[in-house]
């Protein structure tokens, strides 16, 4: 009997009690991480690993996959809304060529490097009966997902560093913010396409042009439509809510409504909420838009804490060694892809020398969206290829843990070289 099994005998400790307990644990560990000069996310992830089903077993797999699944949906919807809000037309217009070229080429670089080298090495670093299903049903779809997830950059980590060091709003910082905002949009689009292809491959279904390309395209278009529709709804009613504290219900309700409708119709809640955030930022008065994002920001931290705790709970300690080589492959080739792609994009767009040399180093952070996407893929693939699915999710979470420890130094170094701190 594990230590925490005594708590599970209490009938009063239902889902609500678990949720409250996990909120408290995540915030405590976030504070501990901060004490050791580490990002909060490190504490959140470590708390999930420690109290999850593979170590102290405070909460079970069933709780993660079923009862707490809604937390993942809510958090990703809020993250997507915030990302959409950071896509500011003014900055995009001013540095349009640099932002567009660098974003596209670093995304292609990260995807191709991780996809190709995962596909090459996976058959040699894994020993599982699932490989008997054939390369096309196992290693190819896993590599596709790893490639698309590797595109995503963590805007929260970069914003935190910019604020911490009071970075100047120069060309480097503005281009960086534009890239990380647009980058997650591209990551979601790539992921939407590759997930459909990967699902077909894993299930052994015939590869049809319509399912691989037209279906994701329609999903994206309907997601755009839903985000715009709810955006118009907010625009109509937000003017009637003068006090700032009354905005929380309107904005959060709109985010949840958008995410819920998207899930009901099997379209992307992330893209829909990203469009919603962009609509609010662009088409609602500047003051009201700022207030809308401020009230969401005020509740983000505890929700993010619980989300990353749940993500950490997916890390199976028995898989750490098995996933270590794949973790290093993702970490190193994602970096090479992003750096070489951003350098080439900066070269083609005639960007400043500092942007050309150092912007790639600033695109290393990886967290929220990447974790959300890989967890979604793991839930889809685990009934068919459980070992490879577990390997995939553990490798991605492992590289994010390493990433969160080292990437702030890369970003700070880049800002210093660009003379913006």
Per-residue pLDDT of the chain (421 residues; tens, 9 = 90+): 454 555 455 434 677 787 888 899 999 998 998 888 777 778 888 898 898 888 888 877 777 777 777 887 888 888 888 878 877 777 677 767 888 899 999 999 999 999 999 999 998 888 777 777 788 888 999 999 999 999 998 776 676 677 666 666 778 888 887 888 788 888 888 888 888 888 888 887 666 666 667 777 888 889 899 999 999 998 888 877 766 667 888 899 999 999 999 989 888 888 899 899 999 988 888 788 888 888 888 887 888 888 888 878 877 777 778 888 999 999 999 999 999 999 999 999 988 888 999 999 999 888 667 887 888 888 888 888 888 888 898 899 888 878 877 887 888 888 888 888 7
Is 28 domain-assigned? no
Q: What is the pLDDT of residue 226?
A: 95
Overall domain count for the chain: 1
Say how far apart CA 182 and CA 98 lie, in whole Å: 12
Tell me what pLDDT residue 11 has.
39
How far apart are alpha carbons 68 and 65 in whole angstroms? 6
pLDDT score at 1: 47
Rounded to the nearest angstrom, the gap between the alpha carbon of residue 59 and the centroid of all alpha carbons in its chain is 24
At residue 296, the pLDDT reads 85
DSSP 8-state class, residue 385: S
- Please indicate, yes or no, if residue 180 is contained in any of the structural domains: yes
Residue 61: inside a domain? no
What range defines the domain where residue 143 resides? 85-304+320-417
Structural domain contains residue 44: no
Beta strands per DSSP E along 237-342? none
Angle among Cα 408, 414, 416 to the nearest 5 degrees reads 100
Q: Report how far residue 228's alpha carbon sits from residue 244's, in angstroms, rounded to the nearest whole number.
A: 23
Tokens of 124: 């040699």
65 in a structural domain: no
**Is residue 5 one of the residues assigned to a domain?**
no
- Please report whether residue 238 resides in a domain: yes
Q: Is residue 9 assigned to a domain?
A: no
Which domain CATH number covers 401? 1.20.1530.20
pLDDT digits (tens, 9 = 90+) for 133-177: 788 888 999 999 999 999 998 776 676 677 666 666 778 888 887
């Amino acid at each position: 009997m594990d230590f925490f099994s005594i708590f599970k005998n209490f009938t009063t400790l239902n889902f609500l009690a678990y949720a409250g307990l996990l909120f408290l644990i995540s915030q405590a560990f976030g504070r501990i991480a901060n004490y050791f000069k580490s990002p909060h996310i490190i504490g959140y992830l470590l708390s999930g690993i420690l109290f999850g089903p593979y170590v102290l077993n405070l909460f079970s797999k069933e709780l993660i996959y079923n009862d707490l699944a809604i937390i993942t949906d809510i958090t990703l919807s809020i993250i997507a809304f915030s990302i959409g809000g950071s896509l500011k037309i003014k900055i995009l217009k001013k540095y349009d060529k640099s932002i567009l070229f660098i974003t596209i080429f670093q995304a292609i670089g990260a995807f191709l490097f991780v996809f190709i080298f995962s596909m090459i090495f996976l058959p040699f670093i894994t020993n599982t009966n699932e490989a008997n299903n054939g390369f096309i049903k196992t290693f190819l779809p896993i590599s596709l997902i790893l490639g698309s997830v590797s595109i995503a950059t963590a805007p929260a980590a970069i914003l935190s560093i910019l604020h911490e060091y009071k970075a100047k709003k120069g060309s480097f910082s503005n281009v960086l913010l534009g890239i990380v905002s647009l980058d997650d949009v591209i990551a979601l689009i790539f992921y939407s396409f590759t997930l459909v292809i990967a699902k077909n491959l894993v299930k052994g279904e015939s590869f049809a042009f319509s399912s691989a390309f037209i279906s994701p395209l329609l999903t994206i278009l309907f997601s755009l439509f839903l985000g715009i529709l709810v955006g118009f709804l907010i625009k109509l009613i937000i003017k009637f809510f003068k006090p700032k504290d009354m905005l929380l219900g309107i904005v959060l309700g709109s985010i949840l409504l958008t995410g819920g409708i998207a899930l009901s119709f099997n379209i992307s809640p992330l893209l829909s909420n990203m469009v919603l955030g962009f609509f609010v930022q662009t088409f609602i008065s500047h003051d009201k838009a700022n207030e809308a994002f401020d009230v969401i920001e005020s509740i983000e931290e505890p929700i993010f804490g619980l989300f990353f705790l749940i993500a950490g709970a997916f890390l199976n300690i028995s898989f750490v060694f098995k996933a270590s080589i794949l973790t290093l492959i993702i970490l190193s080739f994602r970096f090479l892809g992003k750096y070489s792609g951003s350098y080439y994009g900066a070269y083609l767009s005639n960007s400043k020398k500092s942007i050309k040399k150092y912007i790639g180093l600033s695109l290393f952070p990886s967290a929220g969206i990447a974790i959300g996407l890989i967890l979604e893929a793991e839930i889809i693939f685990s009934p068919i290829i459980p070992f490879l699915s577990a390997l995939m999710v553990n490798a991605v979470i492992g590289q994010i843990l390493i990433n969160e420890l080292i990437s702030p130094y890369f970003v700070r170094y880049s800002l210093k070289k660009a003379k913006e701190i």
